[in-house]
Chain A
Amino acid sequence: MSELFPLSVKGAVTRRHGKVLVGPVDLELDGAGTCVILGPNGAGKTSLLRLLHGTARLHAGEITWGCGTEAARNAQAFVFQRPVMLRRSVGENLAYPLRLRGTPRTEARARARDWAARVGLSGLFDRQATVLSGGEQQKLATARALIGDPGLLFLDEPTASLDGRATREMEEILAKARANGTRLVLSTHDMGQARRLADRVIFLLGGKVHEEGAAEGFFSAPRTPEAQAFLKGDIVE
């Protein structure tokens, strides 16, 4: 999976109806740790994640991976802010990405069981996924994204609508994934979460990378007044 990185982004822009959603963005990303994208609502966090993942159109600039674009695409996964549940059982949701890639049914089922156990959904294995609670759905979506062993996982505000306990469980899952060598890139506006998870921070403002660097430096000594204000909890637009 290491050939996925370095990810190199040069002058990348995505637009919608002529309006720039995010960009131009310049970034270099290597293959370890957790990168947290911070910024107020509408700063372009979702757009940047989608742009990097390749589901938002690249209107200008370039995004290159250590390997080819198609191979890179298949080595990454995305967890949406509002989880998308297939109208199937929990087990079948987990097995779905494996079945897509031709894993035999019994093996896919065994790995689905294993992942259900890892995220604490064993008891719900045969339940219809659409009836799970928000926290359970988000854990399921994350496990489904991790089951294919991606080198890179994007998560868009994964705990935005979860309560404290569900948030902690999600963060534990993410910490394990990170320890297993999956590169995490996630957006959040939960400052506590950013501090707990981030190795590196990208602070977005108005669709542009406003400040960017190692997490320690960013949290202890933010360089720009906007980042300072944002960290203090002031309203930044």
Chain B
Amino acid sequence: MIDLWEGLRQAFWLVATADPELAEIALRSLRITLSALVLACLIALPLAALLAVKRFRLRRTVIAILNALMGLPPVVVGLVVYVILSRSGPLGALGLLFTPTAMIIAQMIVIVPLIASIAHQSLRELWHEYHDLLISMNVTQGQKMRTLLWDARRALLTAALAGFGRGIGEVGAIMIVGGNIDHVTRVLTTAIALETGKGEFALALALGFVLIALAIAVNLTIHWLGQTEREGRW
């Protein structure tokens, strides 16, 4: 229990004094996960919309695979990305291993199936509702997808938040491809793992509290942004 209180005290202290190292690590966490989230949404949302409106032979298979990949172990993703980006790997020449870019790629792969699956659920429901109308209006495939994505934007926000939550708290993949290098690829979760390993529980806890606070802050901000556009806009 001493450790918990000590952790709280230190966390408070680190935040209150705007500890530069903590700020650097937290901002890096935020930057990497938000980048991964934006890229993941660019892939996952159109994919989810396509799966909702288009009937093709392997549709069910793709959906089943996406659902299965939701539980993808990040460590394995990290390993695969590591192999691909390592010097002797197919993309080794890019020199991306142990850079924030590699971490963004790995996190993106971890959260794409999650976002796509959750988004697909709500888009499919909405498509069921809109189907007759949009078919009657003879709209193109692209117009169908855009209509669904726009009208389901609230639910999609929730999907994105779930993706953010999984990304910001993820450690296995980014530890492997990032290497937890001080001032380069160290983020909150990898720092926590490091401090815990060193027996610095108080500091690890402090970082953990900051991580939680960050996650809550981002959730609240995005929700608040969603609220402000509530009334009809043109």
Which A residues lie at the B interface, using CB under 8 A? 53, 55, 73-74, 77-78, 80, 84, 86-89, 91-92, 96-97, 100, 105, 109, 126, 128
CA distance A84 to B131 in the complex (A): 9
* Given known A-B contacts A84-B129, A86-B151, A88-B151, A53 and B136 have beta carbons under 8 A apart: yes
A89-B232 in contact given A84-B132, A84-B133 (Cβ < 8 Å): yes
- Chain A residue with Cβ nearest B138: A73
A105 and B232 CA atoms in complex are apart in Å by 14
Q: How large is the interface on B (under 10, 10 to 19, 20 to 34, 35 or more residues)?
A: 10 to 19
Question: Inside 8 A of A74's CB, which chain B residues have their CB?
Answer: 138
Known: A55-B132, A80-B132. A97 touches B232 (CB 8 A): no
Which residues 140-164 of B sit at the A interface, judged by CB distance below 8 A?
Answer: 143, 147, 151-152
Let me know if B137 is at the binding interface, CB within 8 A. Answer: yes
Closest to A79 in B: B136
Which residues 62-90 in B have Cβ within 8 Å of A in the complex? none
Beyond contacts A87-B151, A92-B234, A100-B139: 16 other A-B pairs, Cβ-Cβ < 8 A, are A53-B136, A55-B132, A77-B137, A80-B133, A84-B129, A87-B152, A89-B232, A91-B232, A91-B234, A97-B137, A100-B137, A100-B143, A109-B234, A126-B231, A126-B232, A128-B232
B5 located at the interface, meaning its Cβ lies under 8 Å from any Cβ of chain A in the complex: no
Cα distance, A53 to B132, chains bound together (Å): 12
| Chain B minimum-CB-distance residue to A95 | B234
B135 CB-CB contact with A under 8 Å:
yes
- Does B12 belong to the interface (CB within 8 Å)? no
Binding site for A on B (CB under 8 A): 126, 129-130, 132-133, 135-139, 143, 147, 151-152, 231-232, 234
A86 to B151, CA, bound (A): 8
Give the distance in Å from the alpha carbon of A87 to the alpha carbon of B139 in the complex. Answer: 17
Task: Tell me the minimal C-beta distance from A219 to chain B in angstroms.
Answer: 30
Residues of A within 8 A of B136 (CB): 53, 55, 77-78, 80
Is there an interface contact between B139 and A92, defined as CB atoms closer than 8 Å? Answer: no
Query: Given the complex of chains A and B, what is the CA–CA distance between A91 and B130 in angstroms?
Result: 17
A96-B234 Cα distance, complex, nearest whole Å: 12
Complex alpha-carbon distance, A92 and B126, angstroms: 17
Q: Which residues of B contact A78 (CB under 8 A)?
A: 136
Closest to B130 in A: A84
Q: How far is the CA of A138 from the CA of B84 in the complex (A)?
A: 57
Residues of B within 8 A of A55 (CB): 132, 135-136
Chain B contacts of A126 at CB under 8 A? 231-232
- Across the interface, which residues of B come within 8 angstroms of A109, CB to CB? 234
A105:B234 contact, CB within 8 angstroms: yes
Beta-carbon contact of A86 and B147 below 8 Å: yes
How far apart sit A86 and B133, CA to CA, in the bound complex (Å)? 9
**CA A53 – CA B133 in complex, angstroms?**
12
On chain B, the residues within 8 Å of A96 by CB distance are: 147
A87 to B151, CA, bound (A): 6
Chain A residues contacting B132 (CB-CB under 8 Å) are 55, 80, 84
**Which residues of chain B come closer than 8 Å to A92, judged between CB atoms?**
232, 234
The smallest C-beta distance from B5 to any residue of chain A, in angstroms, reads 49
- Give Cα distance in the complex from A55 to B131, angstroms: 11
Q: Which of A53, A74, A92, A100 has the most CB of B within 10 A?
A: A100
Which residue on A lies nearest to B126, using beta carbons?
A87
Q: Can you give 5 A-B contacts (C-beta < 8 A)?
A: A55-B135, A78-B136, A87-B126, A91-B232, A96-B147
Residue of B nearest to A70 (CB): B138
Assembly CA distance A109 to B234 (angstroms): 9
Q: Which 5 A-B pairs have the closest CB atoms?
A: A89-B232, A84-B133, A78-B136, A87-B151, A126-B232
Chain B residues contacting A100 (CB-CB under 8 Å) are 137, 139, 143
Q: Which residues of B sit under 8 angstroms from A80, Cβ to Cβ? A: 132-133, 136
Minimum CB–CB distance from A202 to chain B (whole Å) comes to 20
Q: Which residues of chain A come closer than 8 Å to B147, judged between CB atoms?
A: 86, 96
CA distance A105 to B126 in the complex (A): 24
User: What is the CA–CA distance of A62 and B138 in the complex, to the nearest angstrom?
Assistant: 20
- Residue of A77, A87, A92 contacting most chain B CB atoms (<10 Å): A87
| CB-CB nearest in chain B for A84 | B133
Minimal beta-carbon separation of B124 from chain A (angstroms): 15
